[in-house]
Amino acid sequence: MDRRPDDMKRINTPELAKAFIDEQISELRAQIGDKKVLLALSGGVDSSVVAALLIKAVGQQLVCVHVNHGLLRKGEPEQVIKVFRDEMNANLIYVDAVDRFLDKLEGVSNPEQKRHIIGEEFIDVFADEARKLEGIEFLAQGTIWPDILESEAGIKAHHNAGGLPEDIASRFELVEPVKILFKDEVRVVGRELGLPANMVDRQPFPGPGLGVRCPGAITRDRLEAVRESDAILREEFANAGLEGKVWQYFTVVPDFKSTGVRDGKRSFDWPCIIRAINTTDVMEVTVEHLPADLIDRLVQRITTEVPGINRVLYDFTPKPPATVEYE
Ligand code: XMP
């Protein structure tokens, strides 16, 4: 099915999700036959659901490529490997491209240039892997219905094979099994496919990852401070029962230092900024007000557990005038 029918029922129950899954499995088997299909599996909701569907439909004929660009959150590459390779027995190629990305990004402080490098490098790494593989005829993608609507309305370019070099793009036929679904429906289907809750319900995460939360030129130590503080923030939000209740929350470590005192000695370290926001349409955003005891715990843990941080700040700015991300 190429387009979402106007009268299509919203998939919002396990029964409806199961019916969708059964139908997709037959369609995927009919389309793919005994051929192989390639998928860039980031571990985000859409690509994870596509992977789980294809594993059910064609098993080992699916080849997943997970590119670790070094800008993922703590534990993400490990979770992709655990869920897909260990538990679902997927054919998964893990590409450690951390040095390749961070070397290219070294000294680059312009936000647009950083995004551009991350996007281009991702395509290059994926294309390199695709060229190594023989006999693959299909390319699967986690395109969803809003992507198609937005690209038709000229709001954003549909992230399809368009980004791949011609010698790669022309080799494949596209497989887009969730393209008639809205995001909430993709989550219902993912749950029915048995994906872990923290994968299916995860908060939005930008394509350039933690790169946009390490403003200015990325250094490995400051990037690590972003990753560690983000992990603490997520853990504390989960402990406080806020997981799934606050739309998006993350940390930013800006490129300036201030004086502090640690163990009776002067320190000169970065601040860590916490941002926690709510929205329905991402055009306008309000700030979540955190309980005082949670703030105290976050300050305590981040300043003691994250090397290089001596202050914790809270961003109280809605959108507009600020945007959600810092770059
Ligand atoms: P801004 O900063 O534009 O963010 O107010 C709005 C929402 O979009 C997410 N975001 C991105 N998502 N690629 C993405 O897939 C990106 O480059 C990107 N930049 C921002 C951001 O996390 C927020 O949810």
Structural domains in the chain?
14-200 (3.40.50.620), 219-314 (3.30.300.10)
Residue 206, ligand 1, Cβ within 6 A: yes
What digits encode the pLDDT tens for the residues 141-179? 999 999 899 888 887 666 555 578 888 888 899 999 999
Residue 209, ligand 1, Cβ within 6 A: no
What was the pLDDT predicted at 63?
Answer: 98
Residue with tokens 């470590």: 253
Q: What is the mean pLDDT of residues 225-240?
A: 98
Q: Which one-letter amino acid corresponds to residue 206?
A: P
Question: Residue 30 Cα, ligand 1 centroid: separation in angstroms?
Answer: 36
Measuring from atom 20 of ligand 1, which residue has the nearest CA? 206
Per-residue pLDDT band at 21 (split at 50, 70, 90): very high
SS3 250: strand
Residue 279, ligand 1, Cβ within 6 A: no
Which of 205, 324, 326, 327 best tests ligand 1's pocket when mutated (most atoms within 8 Å of CB)? 324
Per-residue pLDDT band at 2 (split at 50, 70, 90): confident
What was the pLDDT predicted at 103?
Answer: 98
What digits encode the pLDDT tens for the residues 290-318? 999 999 999 999 999 999 999 999 999 99
What digits encode the pLDDT tens for the residues 102-135? 999 999 999 999 999 999 999 999 999 999 999 9
Question: Residue 326 Cα, ligand 1 centroid: separation in angstroms?
Answer: 10
What was the pLDDT predicted at 16?
Answer: 98
CA distance 134 to 156: 33
Per-residue pLDDT band at 53 (split at 50, 70, 90): very high
By percentage, how much of the chain surpasses pLDDT 90? 90
List, in order, residues 6 or more apart from 55 with CB less than 8 Å away.
62, 84, 88, 89, 90
Question: Residue 206 Cα, ligand 1 centroid: separation in angstroms?
Answer: 5
SS3 293: helix
Report pTM: 0.94
SS3 36: strand
Q: Which one-letter amino acid corresponds to residue 210?
A: L
Side-chain-side CA neighbours of 41 within 13 Å: the count stands at 33
CA distance 99 to 125: 12
Measuring from atom 23 of ligand 1, which residue has the nearest CA? 324
- Please state, in angstroms and as integers, the Cα–Cα distance from residue 212 to each residue in 205, 256, 281, 316, following that order: 10, 16, 21, 19
What was the pLDDT predicted at 164?
Answer: 84
Q: What is the mean pLDDT of residues 178-205?
A: 96
Instruction: Quote the tokens at residue 60.
Output: 């080992």
SS3 211: helix
- 58, pLDDT greater than 90: yes
CA distance 310 to 13: 47
Residue 119, ligand 1, Cβ within 6 A: no
Question: Residue 325 Cα, ligand 1 centroid: separation in angstroms?
Answer: 6
